[in-house]
Amino acid sequence: MHRILTFVLALALLILPILATPSRLRLPGSALRLARKHGGGETGDDDDGPGGDNDNDDDSNADGNIPDLGDSAGIPDVANATNAACVPFYPVRDAILGGVFGGRCTDLARASVRLAFHDAGTFSLRLAALGKPNGAADGSLLWDPQEVLRDENNGLQDIVAALAPLPQRFNVSPGDVLQLAGVLGVLACPGGPRIDAWVGRPLPANKAPNGLLPSPNDSVDSLLGRFADMGFAPVDLIALIGAHGTARQRFVDPAMAGEAMDTTIDLWDVNFYRDTNVATAPHNVFRLASDVNLAHNASTKAFFHEYIDNQPDWDQDYRAAHLLMSTLGYKTTELVNCTELMPASINLTRVSMPDTVSGKAVVDPGLLEAAIQKYRAPWLKP
Ligand code: HEM
pTM of the model: 0.87
Active-site amino acid positions: 118
- Determine which residue's CA is closest to atom 26 belonging to ligand 1: 241
pLDDT of residue 19: 37
Q: Which of 222, 368, 370, 357 is nearest to 299 (CA)?
A: 222
For 88-135, the pLDDT digits (tens) are 999 999 999 999 999 999 999 999 999 999 999 999 999 999 999 999
Q: List, as residue ranges, the binding site for heme b.
A: 244
83 C-alpha to center of ligand 1: Å? 34
Helix (H, G, I), strand (E, B) or coil at 72: coil
pLDDT at 307 over 60: yes
Residues recorded for the chain: 382
pLDDT score for 23 = 39
**Cβ within 8 Å of residue 261, ≥6 positions away:** 244, 245, 247, 248, 249, 272, 275, 276, 285, 286, 287, 288, 291
Query: Mean pLDDT across the stretch 339-354?
Result: 96
Q: What is the pLDDT of residue 63?
A: 52
Q: What is the pLDDT of residues 105-115, one digit of tens each?
A: 999 999 999 99
Find the range with the poorest average confidence among 15-19, 176-180, 197-201, 288-292.
Answer: 15-19
**C-beta separation of 289 from 216 below 8 A:** yes
Q: In whole angstroms, give the CA distance from residue 228 to residue 235.
A: 11
- Which residues lie with the beta carbon below 6 Å from any ligand 1 atom? 107, 110-111, 113-114, 117, 155, 214-216, 223, 240-241, 243-244, 247-252, 288, 290
